[in-house]
Structure 1
Amino acid sequence: MDFRTEFKPLTVQPQEIEGLSFNMIDSEFGEHAFTEQQYKIVQRVVHASADFELGHSMLFHDDAIKAGINAIRNGEQVYADVQMILSGVSKGRIEKHGGSVNVYISDQDVMEEAKRLNTTRAIISVRKAIKQFDGGIFAIGNAPTALLELIRLIKEGEAKPSLVIGLPVGFVSAPESKEELAKLDVPFITNIGRKGGSTITVAALNAISLLAEKD
């Protein structure tokens, strides 16, 4: 290969680049057992990560997509564990139905309560969220402790989320938290293993909101 050749950037529109990317994903993804709607979410997860292994590791509760679409259309609130999700999500598609995306991790009362109880702000922010709204979508991409706390509250009957998007990334407790989520009979979107993160959670949430627009 001649590396002296002058680089020529693509001169196509963003929509064309996205279309080309999705075509490449489709051609390389291989066989799978996802439904058509599930694959729409997987496709955007791979698009956000360029990671086919992550895409194949995705898990869906049978009612997850329907529950997420209904939650958005009904104007239910969205809880996000970190600010990065708020920054990345397409809020307009949620707000047009009366919902909003809420992040409590840096709230003064959350920080004070976490210090008082000697626990994490992620745990306290989940507790605050379930007091702020009934149901809703919980989008967790960073803190396994937030997901584990939500799971505990669900098991104890204190939290009844419409959908849990649980895709925290990490080595400590992240795989285990997702395994525990997959055992629950609540609508969930998660994956197997250490991979995940805020950008992946944003991709899944945005895919759900797009399906709410189209279907």
Structure 2
Amino acid sequence: MQNYIKNPYEIEKRSFEIITEELGEKTFPEDIGKVVKRVIHTTADFQFADITIINEGAIDRAKKAILDGKNIYTDTKMALSGINKRRLAEYGGKVLNFVSDDDVAKKAKEEGITRSIVAMRKAVEENPDGIFVIGNAPTALFELIKQINEGKARPSLVVGVPVGFVGAAESKEELLKVDVPYILTRGRKGGSNVAAAIINAILYMID
């Protein structure tokens, strides 16, 4: 068996070196580059360098929100699991997900809609200017956009990276039209792991 790197820090360091090398002449402003490279590190998919869109000021506003102790609301338990909760807690914030709450399940069944929609409504009611992280459910992103357009939500950041074939690309195109800080991936690609990677990249930028 050939020698291989065993130290986790060295593995990550070398991974990012390889990503930078393979990106070649494709470069980004420093903070944006950290987000894009961590997504590529998570997925091993260099297409994210072309489809990741970050609007002006989004990262700085996200950092401020984290430092102010804002909570993060996710559309899935998987995204919640992937976010560095210990690091977030250092600034007073928590990661929350309401999809499995009994009241959410009951309301979704009564209205014949997804639990992701109801969970997003509950998150907005609890904290309209929180950080919203959507990596799986386009219905959650559509609902959040509706809440923003109605003046009920004023997100500090929206991470909109739902994955899939029904509504995922369309929901992200709608997010592009909204005047809020956002980070999104155009098209079908995304996922809870991508959503968590984006938040972690921002957390790791804060000293």
Q: For structure 2, which runs of at least 5 residues remain unmatched after alignment?
A: none
Alignment match, 2:41: 47
> 74, 77, 99: which one pairs with 1:83?
77
Alignment match, 1:159: 153
Q: Distance in 2 between matches of 1:140 and 1:159?
A: 15
Alignment match, 1:106: 100
Q: Per the alignment, do residues 182 and 32 of structure 1 end up closer, same or farther by CA in structure 2, a change over 3 Å counting?
A: farther
- Does 2:87 match 1:93? yes
| Aligned residue-pair number | 207
Cα displacement (A) at 1:33: 5.7
Q: Distance in 1 between matches of 2:3 and 2:167?
A: 42
Alignment match, 1:28: 22
> 177, 181, 185: which one pairs with 2:175?
181
Partner of 1:52: helix, strand, or coil? coil
- Does 2:46 match 1:57? no
Alignment match, 1:168: 162
| TM-score (ref. length: structure 2) | 0.97
Q: Distance in 1 between matches of 2:44 and 2:121?
A: 34
2:33 partner letter:
Y
Give the conservation status (yes or no) of the 8 Å contact 1:32–1:56.
Answer: no
| TM-score (ref. length: structure 1) | 0.93
1:166 partner letter:
G
Give the conservation status (yes or no) of the 8 Å contact 1:140–1:146.
Answer: yes
2:176 partner letter:
A
Bigger Cα Rg? 1
Q: Distance in 2 between matches of 1:180 and 1:31?
A: 31
Alignment match, 1:140: 134
1:201 partner letter:
A
Q: Distance in 2 between matches of 1:189 and 1:20?
A: 26
Cα displacement (A) at 1:199: 0.4
Q: What is the RMSD computed on CA atoms of the aligned residues?
A: 1.1
Q: For structure 1, which runs of at least 5 residues remain unmatched after alignment?
A: 1-6
Cα displacement (A) at 1:9: 4.9
